[in-house]
Amino acid sequence: MTLPTEALTDPQLRDELPPSLHSDIEGLIDSDEQIQLSVATDIRLDGLYGDAYLLATDRQLLSINPNGGKPAIDRIPLSEVKTVEIQDLFGSGVLKVRTETRGVTLALFSKSLTEKFAAVPDRIEALVREARTVEEDEKLIKRKGKHHPVRKRRCESCGQVIPRRMGICPACMDRKKLLGRFLGYSLPYWQLATVSMLILLAGTFISLMPPMLLRFLIDDVLKPVDLLVESENLGALSEAARAIRIADIAVPLPLIGTVDPVGALASLVFLLLLINVSRNVLGAVRSYLMARLGQQITFDLRSQVYIHLHRLSLSFYNDRDTGRIMASVTHDVGRLQDFLSHGLQEAIQNVLTLVFICGLLFYMNAGLAAYVLIPTPLIVLVTIRFGHYLHMIYHRLWRRWAAISSLLADVIPGVRVVKAFAQEKREIDRFETRSEELLEGELRAAKVRSLFSPIMAFLTSLGTLIIWWVGGNKILSGNLSLGDFVAFTGFMWQFYGPVESLCRLNHRFQHASTSAERVFEVLDTTPDVDDSETVSLMPRIKGEVEFNDVTFAYEEGKPVLHDLSFTVAPGEMIGLVGHSGAGKSTIINIICRFYDIESGAILIDGHDVRDVQLKSLRDQIGIVLQEPFLFNGPVAENIAYGNPEASLDEIVAAAKAANAHDFIMNLPDGYDSPLGERGVRLSGGERQRVSIARAILRDPRILILDEATSSMDTETEAKIQEALGRLIKGRTTFAIAHRLSTLKNAHRLLVIDKGYLSEIGTHDELLANDGIYARLCRMQSELSRLRAV
Amino acid sequence: MEEVYPLEEELNLLDPACIRFYRDEFEDLVMEREDGEIDRSIHILRNFPLSNESRFISVRKGEEEEELGIIPALSDLDEGSRQLLEEELERVYFVPCITRVLSVEERFHVPKWEVETDRGPRVFEIRSGRNDIRVLGGGRVLIRDADGNQYEIPNYRRLDEDSQKQIDSQI
């Protein structure tokens, strides 16, 4: 029994069999037999979680299921294997093998192992082919169950689960590097940044002055006066008070007489005024400069993201929610701006303040300063704890809010249905339940919030208590001046604030880095379809389109088009026919080069579409979709979307050709009528005609009609058909339609079945051929006959 | 005379008294009718996987999954068939019940749950709380992990206090 290393190329399929099981399989495997595959699974055949194993040698398959005692072992000789089946069930997967006479379930596995087990049948098939002769057309592998495409959920390099709102692995990403990169955007504004920093520094320093002034005021200005006054009625003072006076006299006595108290007081008041004025002026300037810096940077970033979004291929949009993409342009960039303009500035200011105050406190009185620090760890701890808790509560609150708004968004637009089914009462009850949940959440949040401030206030006051006791004692024993004491108390209040807010900074930092990472995720995505460096322009297209063995897959390994080859003559109209999901729209997507094909080539007039500039290609292609997308703006602007320079008579002519002129003239503002978001103010048929006018005006050389007339009533369809008839003249046209009657003008029809080109020819040829097309035709004429009755 | 549209006939219910199920040598389900008619390679699906687990069971056949009919309630079948179908449903809808939450630890905003289930111990991770943890009425919680596995807590208020606390912090 040996494990050949070179035979097992996929490391995932070589799980170690635990030594405890070795003895159990000893007798079942011959000494010259080689283990080719060994897979561990996480559900045993009895349905309980636990390790079980599937082995494949060059002669047999073994399923080993430990269950406490002797493991249950199933064996099947490879020579008997008929089919290998993978079933994708709702909550788990099954690997089953069938022989001529029986079927054996070899392994159950959870969804976590779906990917790993997907590779197993191919390996077993290869082994079976070595063990017995397999006919060419014999299909060994069967895959059952709805296979849902799995979006990237785990990091490819480390296996870390990627949170839904993020696109890249949080473990592999360096947050500091990310913010560093973001700050790099401030480089062009380094002068602005430097000036704001200097102002910030100065402002912070100045804001620390008032307690120092107070100290000076008390110790050096008021005290001497106080002493003179007090000494006159010393007798009235208590013993304790007298002790302070006497202790004090020893210290500032030399100053008496050298300072003019009133003059000093005046200059102090003036200085305080100066400080207050300059502090506020600097504050205003700083806050403007910082905001400006932040706005400039986010402006750059926002434009860059938007420009990049337009460069990206459709595949980028397919993988992501529109909402999330929009959020990265608005919300995420906004949050970065907030971080830059406020969060960062606050952080720097707080750190500076802390450093300055610490320095001053220790300079004034190191012994007392140490006491100020005592409550700090408590404050840090409580802030972080509360912050965490508050965050959780707010998150829950936010979810309850979201539940209410989603209910509103659901019900208000559907109010007609509610009324029609007389369900007002039920909707009111539903709303009330959610509203009550919100109330309960809000009350809970209010409770926590109300607790937070008093607790923090109490903790900070602990500092005061300590300073009063220790500082007071020091004054009594003559080791501290009253001024120092007052300044200390003042600084202390300024000290705990920044500590608290620095503790909360972590949250802000995290939010900002998450936003930065989403923004950079967009910026770092390279477009799949890109103009290579050496592209030439597409000359005016004559209209010959040639597919050469084209194979294409949206997802790697799952091709939707296989080896497609055909040639379309200039000016020919081709109808694309096939079941939904056959690949018709995909053909159109790759002609427009929304995606690049995997192998083969698409040639237009002999030019490979990958070798010409994208814009020059798409400028000559016109598309009319089933659901035309109109932008919010006047009708005329929408018609001229493809050629903004079109003249008024061109626009009106195109509208007339598209049978759109009459209804446009019935709109209150004619061609200047706004269409509303997505053209909501027009009916489906009207929108369609606007989009046909758009295509006519563009004068494309290749025209694509994707279900352009489905979901229209007969009369509207007739009008649109008429308009389309004008549009397709002299252009190579690809038309997709489910209603085959709409393809009656097509020169030839292409029938696509499951990604393969199954039939090609004229309507009559295909009918004579009696294939898929003929069957579809029969079914549809049956239907229309029924409708006619 | 008022004409009544026979809506219930649309259902195509199977009479539980007239059918029985067993597994053949290929481990596939077989449905046998009273008259001896046999349908092989049967699949069964729940019509209401969340609200009515053992009522309205759809019986389908072959790869096309053509519906042969609906069993109104599993409890009306004979004992052997009932057990067999319940087993099969358990396998198709593999949703272990969480009986205890040992710990929930978050790393990079991804909560990692360590739990005990009726199918044994399990550790799983969740991508986002809003989409992947659903709280239904009566304290029922449905969880979908990052790989698409599902778990259920029939009523989390019935779990031990510590588990409840852990779950409370997540929903």
Minimal CA separation from A50 to chain B, in Å: 8
pTM for this model (two decimals): 0.65
How far, in Å, CA of A734 to CA of A718, rounded?
A: 19
**Residue B114 to residues A159, B105, B163: CA-CA distances in angstroms?**
18, 8, 11
- Using a 10 angstrom Cβ sphere, with 0-12 exposed, 13-18 middle and 19 or more buried, the burial of residue A84 is buried
3-state SS track over A534-570? CCECCCCCCCCEEEEEEEECCECCECCEEEEEEEECC
Whether B146 has its CB under 8 Å from any CB of chain A: the answer is yes
- Chain B residues closer than 8 Å to A52 by CB: none
- CA dist A579 and A763 (Å) reads 17
Within the 362-421 window of chain A, which residues sit less than 8 Å (CB to CB) from chain B?
Answer: 392, 399, 402
Phi, psi of A717 (to 5 degrees): -60, -40
Q: Hunting for tokens 């949009």 — which residue is that?
A: A317
Question: In the predicted model, what is the mean pLDDT of residues A420-444?
Answer: 91
pLDDT digits (tens, 9 = 90+) for B33-46: 988 899 988 989 99
- Candidates B118, B149, B152, B168: best to mutate against A (most CBs of A within 10 A) is B149
The lowest-confidence range among A184-193, A257-266, A481-490, A746-755 is A257-266
Least-confidence region, from A164-173, A235-244, A380-389, A576-585: A235-244
Q: Would the CB atoms of B92 and A90 count as touching at under 8 Å?
A: yes
ipTM value for the complex: 0.90
What pLDDT is attached to residue A439? 93
Among A102, A105, A164, the residue with its CB nearest the CB of B131 is: A164
Q: Is the predicted pLDDT of residue A9 greater than 50, yes or no?
A: no
Min Cα distance B90 → chain A (Å) is: 9
Collect all residues of chain B within an 8 Å Cβ-Cβ radius of residue A144: 63
Nearest C-alpha neighbor of A90 from the set B164, B42, B150, B30 = B150
A93 close to A113: Cβ distance less than 8 angstroms: yes
* CB pairs A-B closer than 8 Å: 96
Q: What six digits make up the tokens of A267? A: 């200059």
Q: State whether residue A88 sits within 8 Å of chain B by CB.
A: no
> CB neighbours (10 Å) of residue A263?
10
Is B119 in Cβ contact with A49 (below 8 Å)?
yes
Contact A564, A600 (CB under 8 A): yes
Residues of chain A neighbouring B97 (CB-CB closer than 8 A): none
CA distances from A356 to A3, A30, A362, A782, B91 (A): 68, 80, 10, 89, 67
Is the confidence at residue A377, as pLDDT, over 80? yes
Q: Which sequence spans correspond to the domains of chain B?
A: 7-92, 98-168
Q: Residue A252: is its pLDDT beyond 50?
A: no
Does the CB of B123 have a partner CB in chain A at under 8 Å? no
The answer to whether the Cβ–Cβ distance between B131 and A43 falls below 8 Å is: no
Instruction: Check: CB of residue A602 under 8 Å from CB of residue A546.
Output: yes
Give dist(CA B10, CA B67) in Å, integer. Answer: 12
DSSP labels, A70-89: SPEEEEEEGGG--EEEEEE-
Stated as kind and residue range, the H or E segment containing A439 is helix A424-466
CA distance A170 to chain B (A): 6
| pLDDT single digits (tens) A108-156 | 998 888 888 888 888 888 888 888 777 777 777 877 765 554 555 677 6
Residues 6+ apart with CB under 8 A from A621: A591, A592, A700, A701, A702, A703, A704
Is B108 part of the contact surface with chain A (CB cutoff 8 Å)?
Answer: yes
DSSP H or E segment with residue A763: helix A763-769
- pLDDT at position B118: 92
- Which residues on adjacent β-strands are paired with residue A41? A52
Amino acid, res. A223: K
- Helical segments of A253-311, H only: 261-311
Tokens at A6, concatenated: 């070179």
The b/e string for A453-481 (b: 16+ C-beta within 10 A; e otherwise) is: eeebeebbeebeebbeebbeebbeeeebb
Q: Identify which of A571, A528, A37, A587 has the alpha carbon closest to the alpha carbon of residue A317.
A: A528
**What is the per-residue pLDDT across A309-368, written as a single tens digit (0 to 9) for each?**
888 888 777 766 676 677 777 778 888 888 877 788 888 888 888 888 888 888 888 888
- Chain center to CA of A658: 41
Confidence of residue A246 (pLDDT cuts 50, 70, 90): very low
pLDDT band at A712 (very low <50, low <70, confident <90, very high): low
Residues of B in contact with A154 (CB under 8 A): 146-147
Q: In what order do the strands lie in the sheet with B110-117?
A: B98-107, B110-117, B120-125
